[in-house]
Every structure is written in structure tokens, then in C-alpha cells.
């Protein structure tokens, strides 16, 4: 009943985070009802994305055709501060507050008991290299979610940072426990991160 190409696309959509089979079908039927121009634009954009995608060599935020992201290459940013976030979406949330003018570092996840630690270990190593190399860095803000899950990552970061002469800032209480950065209201977040 279902052509194999449909199934193949559903399998792809179903593998996206937070998308289940039902939503995958819904997205699929929505997409095939859009006009051809939209569908072509969609594919073209993804084509460009896949071909030119890069990750910033300083902070790991995705970039296009460049090895430095816009923030890291912006000379007006305060280079004495690094804000460590777990996910890219947390960086976007903090940028949208329009208060923080320092730099970032994206961990790409958290240290979790049953998950592959390769990416995060690699990035922590890179963070150390950055701190060794860049003596302008005076302050690191640990903008990790205030969840139990994030504790091992926070401890590991504090351990790493303790061997540098750097001010470590962690979000103040006041953020609801269990608070994911992207779901905290802007005013609370500004206050918690002391921005
Ligand atoms: Zn960057």
C-alpha cells in the first residue's frame, strides 16, 4: 500500500529527535501537499547546508563556508568571557537576550551515564587547549541546565577550570530546579546568569 520511498522518508523523519512515527507521517503528508517551488527551495537549502556546513573551530557553533562563526570572528565581542552551554539552542536563547557580549563554547551535550562521551570529551579537551592558549580569558560562565542530569558535566567543568586563574560563574538560584536554559523566561535567565 505504501510506496518504498514513502517508508524511507518516514524512517528518516522518525529518527529526528522528539519526532515519533505519527508526527513523521504528519510532516510527510504536510510536505507533499506544499507547492513544488516550496519543495524545491527546501531541498536546495538543505543541499547548500550539507555541502558548506562547518563547525566553528573556537566554539563549535555551526557555520557556513568558514571556520569561525560570526560571534567568534566579531572583534567587538568581549574576549575575556566564555559562556559554556550544553546545546546550540542554549547559545541562541542567550544571544536573544541581547545582554551578553562575550564568547561561547558549545559542549554538544552532557556527560550522561549510558551515552557515548566521545564528542563531549573531545570538546572538553578543546576547551582546555583554548584556555591554555588564550590568556585573555578571565571569566567562564557555566550556563548548563539546572538539572540533576547536568551535575556530572558541571563537576567536570569545575575540575578543569580550577587549574586556571579564572572566575567561574554558575547560574544563581532562582532558576527553577530542572530548568532547561531554553525554557526559562528571559528576565529570570538574565538575572540567573548575572547578565
Ligand atoms: Zn565560534
**For residue 28, pLDDT beyond 90:** yes
What kind and span of H or E run contains 161? helix 151-161
The vertex-91 CA angle with 15 and 160, nearest 5°, equals 100
Look at residue 175 and tell me whether its pLDDT is greater than 70.
no
End-to-end Cα distance, the chain:
56
Confidence at residue 170, expressed as pLDDT on a 0 to 100 scale: 85
The pLDDT value recorded for residue 171 is: 77
Assess contact for 68 and 123: CB atoms under 8 A.
Answer: no
DSSP H helices in 17-107 = 21-33, 36-52, 70-73, 88-96
d(CA 94, CA 96): 5
For residue 148, what pLDDT is reported?
A: 84
CA of 61 to the centre of ligand 1 (A): 5
Question: What is the C-alpha separation between 181 and 145, in angstroms, rounded?
Answer: 6
Ligand 1 centre distance from Cα of residue 16 (Å)? 25
Partner residues linked to 75 by β-bridges:
none
- 94 CA → ligand 1 middle, Å: 14
**Phi, psi (rounded to 5 degrees) for 173:** -60, 160
Q: Give residue 148 CA to ligand 1 midpoint distance, Å.
A: 28
- Interval between CA 187 and ligand 1 midpoint (Å): 25
Residue 190 has pLDDT above 90, yes or no: no
- Written as nine digits, the cell of 80 is 575575556
- Do 85 and 98 meet the contact criterion of CB atoms below 8 Å apart? no
How remote is the CA of residue 5 from the centroid of ligand 1, in Å?
38
Ligand 1 centroid to 103 CA: how many Å?
Answer: 8
pLDDT exceeds 70 at position 6 = yes
Query: Is pLDDT at 117 greater than 90 in this prediction?
Result: no
pLDDT at 115: 81
Measured in Å, residue 176 CA sits from the centre of ligand 1 at 29
* Average pLDDT over every residue of 150-174: 88
Distance 57 CA to ligand 1 centre (A): 7
Residues in a beta bridge with 134? none
Structural contact between residues 5 and 32, judged by C-beta atoms closer than 8 angstroms = no
3 state DSSP class of 7 = helix
pLDDT at residue 1, rounded to an integer: 80
- The per-residue pLDDT for range 47-103, each reduced to its tens digit, is 999 999 999 999 999 999 889 999 999 999 999 999 999 999 999 999 999 999 999
Give 120 Cα–ligand 1 centroid separation in angstroms: 16
Whole-prediction pTM value?
0.84
Measured distance CA(163)–CA(157) in Å, rounded: 11
CA of 124 to the centre of ligand 1 (A): 15
Quickly state the pLDDT bin for 173 (edges 50, 70, 90). low
Distance (angstroms) between ligand 1 centre and the Cα of 7 equals 38
Separation CA 132–CA 164 (nearest Å): 9
55 CA distance to ligand 1 middle (Å) = 8
Percentage of the chain exceeding pLDDT 90: 72
Kindly state the cell numbers that stand for 178.
530542572
Angle, alpha carbons 155-160-166 (nearest 5°): 105
Amino acid at each position: 500500500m505504501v510506496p518504498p520511498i514513502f517508508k524511507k522518508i518516514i524512517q528518516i523523519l522518525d529518527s529526528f529527535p522528539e519526532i515519533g512515527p505519527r508526527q513523521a507521517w504528519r510532516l510527510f503528508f504536510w510536505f507533499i501537499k506544499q507547492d513544488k517551488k516550496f519543495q524545491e527551495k527546501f531541498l536546495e537549502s538543505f543541499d547548500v547546508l550539507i555541502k558548506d556546513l562547518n563547525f566553528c573551530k573556537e566554539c563549535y557553533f555551526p557555520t557556513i563556508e568558514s571556520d569561525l562563526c560570526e560571534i567568534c570572528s566579531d572583534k567587538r565581542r568581549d574576549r575575556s568571557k566564555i559562556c559554556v552551554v550544553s546545546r546550540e539552542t542554549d547559545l541562541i536563547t542567550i544571544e536573544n537576550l541581547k545582554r551578553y557580549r562575550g564568547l561561547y563554547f558549545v559542549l554538544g551535550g552532557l556527560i550522561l551515564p549510558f551515552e557515548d562521551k566521545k564528542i563531549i570529551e573531545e570538546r572538553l579537551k578543546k576547551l582546555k587547549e583554548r584556555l591554555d592558549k588564550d590568556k585573555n580569558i578571565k571569566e567562564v560562565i557555566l550556563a548548563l541546565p539546572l538539572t540533576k542530569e547536568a551535575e556530572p558535566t558541571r563537576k567536570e567543568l569545575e575540575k578543569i577550570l580550577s587549574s586556571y586563574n579564572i572566575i567561574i560563574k554558575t547560574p544563581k538560584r532562582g532558576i527553577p530546579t530542572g530548568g532547561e536554559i531554553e525554557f526559562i523566561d528571559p528576565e529570570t535567565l538574565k538575572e540567573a546568569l548575572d547578565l
